[in-house]
């Protein structure tokens, strides 16, 4: 699945948050899909809000940066080792 780099970063951070549940990227994506609203107007509103988000909006609450610069770590292709997901 092709996702923007900031969304991949956020997904990695969500995996870190779910560490006690021994979760993974696929399970978190499945959970988010299963819990998504099944209401046309709500979905439309969320999609339109997502389209207006900046990179900073996507990572601001998972990153400790105080400035305007956002640094998203680059990873090579393939699965990440557990200790490199953050």
pTM above 0.75, yes or no: no
- Residue pLDDT tens, the chain, 86 long: 789 988 988 998 899 899 899 999 999 999 999 999 999 999 999 999 999 999 888 887 765 656 566 666 666 666 666 655 44
State how far the alpha carbon of 1 is from the alpha carbons of 7, 40, 59, 60, 80, in Å: 12, 23, 19, 23, 15
């Amino acid at each position: 699945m092709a996702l923007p780099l900031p969304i991949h970063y956020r997904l990695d951070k969500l995996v870190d948050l779910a560490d006690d549940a021994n979760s993974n990227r696929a399970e978190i994506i499945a959970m988010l899909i299963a819990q998504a609203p099944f209401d046309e107007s709500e979905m439309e509103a969320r999609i339109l809000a997502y389209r207006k988000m900046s990179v900073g909006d996507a990572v601001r609450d998972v990153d400790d940066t105080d400035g305007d610069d956002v640094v998203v770590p680059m990873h090579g292709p393939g699965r990440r080792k557990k200790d490199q997901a953050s």
